[in-house]
Amino acid sequence: MKYRHRIYPLLLAASLTACGGGSGDLVADGGISGSGISVGAITGFGSVILNDSTLDTTPSTSITVGGEPATQDDLAVGQVVRVVADFDAQRADEIEYEETVRGIVNGVTVTNPDTLQATLTVLGQSVLTSAATNFVNVLGAEQLVGQEVDVSGTRNADNEIVATFVERKSSPVNEYRITGRVEALGAATFAIGGLTVDFSGADLGGLPGGSPEEGQLVRVRGDTAQFNPAPPTLIASGVTTGLSLNAMSDDAVEIEGNITAYRSLGDFELNGQRVDASTASVVDGSEDDIALNARLEIEGVIDDNGVLVAERVIVEDSLFVRIDAQIDMNGVDTVARTLTLLGVTVSVTEATRYDDNSAANADPLTLELLSPGDWVEMRGLLVGEDVVAARIERDDPDPGPRVILMAPVEAEDANAGTLTLLGITVNGRTSSGTQFRDGDEMSITQEQFYSLVSEDSLVKARWDPFISLNEPAEEMSIEEED
Kindly report, residue by residue over 11-70, the tens digit of the pLDDT. Answer: 333 332 323 332 222 223 445 667 889 999 988 876 677 666 777 888 889 999 999 999
Whether the CA torsion 409, 410, 413, 418 is positive or negative: it is: negative
The better pLDDT of the pair 136, 35 is held by: 136
The answer to whether residue 205 scores a pLDDT higher than 50 is: yes
- Name the average pLDDT for the chain: 89
Q: Which of 384, 383, 453, 467 is nearest to 419 (CA)?
A: 453
Q: Which of 251, 268, 236 is nearest to 306 (CA)?
A: 251
The better pLDDT of the pair 398, 37 is held by: 37
101-168 topology per CATH:
OB fold (Dihydrolipoamide Acetyltransferase, E2P) (2.40.50)
Count other Cβ atoms within 10 Å, centred on residue 232.
21
Q: What would the DSSP string read from start to end of 144-211? A: -TT-EEEEEEEE-TTS-EEEEEEEE-SS--SEEEEEEE-BS--SSEEEETTEEEE-TTSEEEESGGGS
Distance of CA 271 to the CA centre of its chain: 15
Q: What residues contact 384, with CB distance under 8 A and at least 6 apart? A: none
pTM of the predicted protein model: 0.89
Q: How confident is the model at residue 368 (pLDDT cuts 50, 70, 90)?
A: very high
**Contact call for residues 165 and 136 (beta carbons, < 8 A):** yes
Domain extents in the chain: 101-168, 175-241, 319-395, 403-480
**Contact call for residues 467 and 16 (beta carbons, < 8 A):** no
Give the pairing type, strands 175-181 and 217-223: antiparallel
Please give the Cα distance from 100 to 106 (Å, whole number).
17
CA separation, residue 320 to residues 22, 207, 346 (Å): 32, 42, 13
Please give the Cα distance from 96 to 98 (Å, whole number).
7
Q: Which of 33, 42, 18 is nearest to 90 (CA)?
A: 33
The answer to whether residue 432 scores a pLDDT higher than 70 is: yes
CA separation, residue 156 to residues 152, 465, 482 (Å): 13, 42, 17
Please state which of the four CATH numbers 2.40.50.320, 3.30.930.10, 3.30.70.2740, 2.60.40.420 is assigned to the domain occupying 319-395: 2.40.50.320
User: Is the backbone peptide bond immediately before 408 cis, with ω within 30 degrees of 0?
Assistant: no
CA separation, residue 182 to residues 128, 193, 198, 211 (Å): 21, 9, 12, 11
- CB contact burial 405-414 (16+ within 10 A = b; e otherwise): bbbbbeebee
Q: Which of 468, 480, 471 is nearest to 437 (CA)?
A: 480
Q: What would the DSSP string read from start to end of 421-463? A: ETTEEEE--GGGT-EEE-TTS-EE-HHHHHHH--TT-EEEEEE
Domains 175-241 and 403-480 are alike in CATH topology: yes
pLDDT reported for residue 401: 87
403-480 topology per CATH:
OB fold (Dihydrolipoamide Acetyltransferase, E2P) (2.40.50)
The better pLDDT of the pair 10, 31 is held by: 31
Q: Find out if CATH 1.10.530 is the number for domain 175-241.
A: no
- CB contact burial 170-184 (16+ within 10 A = b; e otherwise): eeeeeebbbbbbbee
Average pLDDT over residues 94-104: 97
The better pLDDT of the pair 13, 387 is held by: 387
